[in-house]
C-alpha cells in the first residue's frame, strides 16, 4: 500500500466516507457489485482514506457490468490464489499469502544467504578480471613501532606489488609522501580494502589520515577518495564472509567474519605485500569456486544432485 496518494486536481474532495454522496463509489466498491467504470468515464470526486490517500469516485449510474469469468478463467485464478499460500521451494502452506518471491520464512532465509553467496562470487570474478583493480593493504596499529607500520598496493589479477612503503607517523613528511603516492597510483582504479565495518580499525585505509584516537570522519574524503569508508566499496572481508556463509546469530541474514576463534583464510602480518597476495588468492579461489564455505552454511542442506541450490 502506498504511503500517500495525492488528490486529483479539480475534483471535489470528501474527507470522510459518510460525506460521500449516494451514487458515488470507488473502483473497489464497484468491483464488489460486479461493476466497473464505463469506457471513457472519468472520476467525479475523491475520498480521503488512511489519512493521506485519495481514492477516485465514480458514478454508479455510469458503470457497466464486468464481463464474468469463464469456468476456466475462474479455475486459473483460484489456482493462482492458492499458490500464493504455498512456498515455491518446499511446498509448505501458510495461512497468509507469502508475498514477493513466494517463500516461507525458513526458505526465504536460505535463499537470501544463497543469493549473497552467489553475488560474492560474481563480484570476485569481476574484480579478478579487472586488470586495474588493486588491493590496498594498510597496517597502522596504534602503539606499534614505526618499522611495523606499512602500506602496500597489490594488483588483484596477478598479485604484483605496485607499491610498498613504511606508513610513517601521522603528520610527518614521510606520511605525506605516502599519501601523495597513493593519490597518484590509485586515481581511476578500483580499490579493494581488507576490512568491513567490523574492523580491525588499524587496517582501514582512512587510518592513514588521522591519529589513532581521532574520531572517524564519515563520507567521502575530497582529497583522498580511496580512503572513503563506504559499504558500497568492495572489501575482502565482506566478499569472503558472504561466500563463507557464517552469521553471528541464528536467523540473521547478515554474513560476518566468524568471531569464535576461527581464523580468516588470509594472512595478517607485518609483511603487508604478502598479506595482499594472500587476500588476492582468496578472491581468486572464490571466483573459481574452490574457496571452502562454512560447514553449516544455510544452503548446504538444500542441494540437489548436481550440487546446485534449488531456489
Q: Is residue 307 part of a domain?
A: no
Between the CA of residue 34 and those of 58, 63, 66, 67, what are the distances in Å? 14, 10, 6, 8
Instruction: Tell me how far apart the 2 most distant CA atoms of the chain are, in Å.
Output: 88
Q: Which of these, 108, 123, 142, 161, lies nearest to 283 by C-alpha position? A: 123
Q: Is residue 172 part of a domain?
A: yes
Q: Tell me: do 74 and 17 sit in the same domain.
A: no
Q: Tell me: do 113 and 88 sit in the same domain.
A: no
The per-residue pLDDT for range 235-261, each reduced to its tens digit, is 999 999 999 999 988 888 999 988 766
pLDDT at 218: 62
Q: Tell me: do 216 and 142 sit in the same domain.
A: yes
Q: Tell me: do 48 and 87 sit in the same domain.
A: no
Q: Is residue 138 part of a domain?
A: yes
Average confidence (pLDDT) over 52-70: 91
Q: Tell me: do 91 and 213 sit in the same domain.
A: no
Which grid cell is 148? 611495523
Q: Which of these, 224, 188, 190, 192, lies nearest to 209 by C-alpha position? A: 224
d(C-alpha 244, C-alpha 66), whole Å: 54
Of residues 232 and 60, the one with the higher pLDDT is 60
Crossing angle between the packed helical segments 236-244 and 105-129, to the nearest 10 degrees: 140
Q: Check pLDDT > 90 for residue 158.
A: yes
Strands (E), the chain: 13-14, 24-25, 35-37, 45-49, 53-59, 63-65, 134-139, 150-155, 161-166, 191-192
Q: Tell me: do 93 and 117 sit in the same domain.
A: no
What per-residue string of b and e applies to 60-98 under the rule 16 or more CB within 10 Å gives b?
Answer: eeebeeeeeeeeeeeeeeeeeeeeeebbebeeeeeeeeb
Phi, psi dihedral angles at 184 (to 5 degrees): -70, -40
Q: Is residue 310 part of a domain?
A: no
Cα-based angle 118, 121, 122 (whole degrees, multiple of 5): 90
Average confidence (pLDDT) over 119-144: 89
pLDDT band at 292 (very low <50, low <70, confident <90, very high): very high
Q: Tell me: do 80 and 211 sit in the same domain.
A: no
Counting residues of the chain whose pLDDT is more than 70, the rounded percentage is 88
Domain that includes residue 47, residue range: 13-65
Q: Tell me: do 123 and 44 sit in the same domain.
A: no
Between the CA of residue 78 and those of 34, 73, 84, 85, what are the distances in Å? 18, 9, 10, 12
CB 153 within 8 A of CB 205: no
Q: Tell me: do 159 and 291 sit in the same domain.
A: yes
Q: Structurally, how many domains does the chain consist of? A: 3
The per-residue pLDDT for range 83-125, each reduced to its tens digit, is 888 888 788 888 888 888 888 888 888 889 999 999 999 999 9
Q: Is residue 196 part of a domain?
A: yes
CB 140 within 8 A of CB 126: no
Q: Is residue 20 part of a domain?
A: yes
d(C-alpha 77, C-alpha 174), whole Å: 72
Q: Is residue 147 part of a domain?
A: yes
Tell me the residue length of the chain: 311
The per-residue pLDDT for range 189-234, each reduced to its tens digit, is 999 999 887 778 788 888 888 876 666 666 667 788 888 777 667 8
pLDDT at 306: 40
pTM over 0.75: no
Between the CA of residue 139 and those of 63, 77, 196, 201, 234, what are the distances in Å? 73, 61, 15, 9, 18
Instruction: List % helix, strand, coil for the chain (3-state, nearest 5).
Output: 35, 15, 50
Q: Tell me: do 51 and 79 sit in the same domain.
A: no
Q: Tell me: do 109 and 61 sit in the same domain.
A: no
Q: Check pLDDT > 70 for residue 3.
A: no
Q: Is residue 306 part of a domain?
A: no
Average confidence (pLDDT) over 10-38: 93
Average confidence (pLDDT) over 150-172: 93
Q: Tell me: do 164 and 54 sit in the same domain.
A: no
Amino acid at each position: 500500500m502506498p504511503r500517500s496518494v495525492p488528490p486529483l486536481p479539480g475534483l471535489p474532495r470528501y474527507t470522510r466516507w459518510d460525506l460521500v454522496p449516494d451514487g458515488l463509489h470507488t473502483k473497489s466498491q464497484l468491483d464488489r457489485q460486479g461493476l466497473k467504470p464505463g469506457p471513457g468515464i472519468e472520476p467525479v470526486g475523491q475520498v480521503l482514506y488512511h489519512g493521506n490517500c485519495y481514492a477516485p469516485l465514480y458514478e454508479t449510474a455510469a458503470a457497466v457490468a464486468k464481463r464474468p469469468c469463464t469456468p476456466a478463467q475462474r479455475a486459473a485464478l483460484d489456482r493462482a490464489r492458492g499458490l500464493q499460500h504455498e512456498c515455491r521451494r518446499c511446498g509448505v502452506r501458510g495461512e497468509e499469502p507469502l508475498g514477493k518471491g513466494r517463500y516461507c520464512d525458513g526458505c526465504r532465509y536460505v535463499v537470501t544467504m544463497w543469493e549473497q553467496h552467489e553475488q560474492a562470487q560474481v563480484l570476485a570474478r569481476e574484480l579478478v578480471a579487472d586488470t586495474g583493480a588493486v588491493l590496498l593493504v594498510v597496517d597502522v596499529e596504534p602503539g606499534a613501532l614505526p618499522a611495523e607500520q606499512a602500506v602496500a598496493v597489490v594488483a588483484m589479477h596477478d598479485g604484483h606489488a605496485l607499491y610498498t612503503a613504511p606508513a610513517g607517523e601521522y603528520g610527518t613528511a614521510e606520511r605525506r609522501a605516502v599519501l601523495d603516492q597513493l593519490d597518484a597510483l590509485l586515481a581511476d582504479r578500483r580499490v579493494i580494502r581488507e576490512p568491513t565495518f567490523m574492523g580491525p580499525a588499524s587496517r582501514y585505509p582512512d587510518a592513514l589520515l588521522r591519529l589513532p584516537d581521532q574520531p572517524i570522519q564519515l563520507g567521502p574524503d575530497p582529497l583522498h577518495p580511496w580512503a572513503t569508508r563506504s559499504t558500497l566499496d568492495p572489501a575482502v572481508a565482506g566478499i569472503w564472509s558472504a561466500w563463507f556463509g557464517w552469521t553471528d546469530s541464528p536467523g540473521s541474514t547478515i554474513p560476518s567474519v566468524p568471531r569464535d576463534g576461527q581464523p580468516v583464510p588470509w594472512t595478517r602480518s607485518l609483511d603487508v605485500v604478502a598479506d595482499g597476495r594472500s587476500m588476492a588468492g582468496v578472491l581468486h579461489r572464490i571466483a573459481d569456486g574452490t574457496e571452502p564455505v562454512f560447514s553449516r552454511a544455510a544452503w548446504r542442506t538444500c542441494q540437489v544432485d548436481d550440487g546446485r541450490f534449488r531456489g
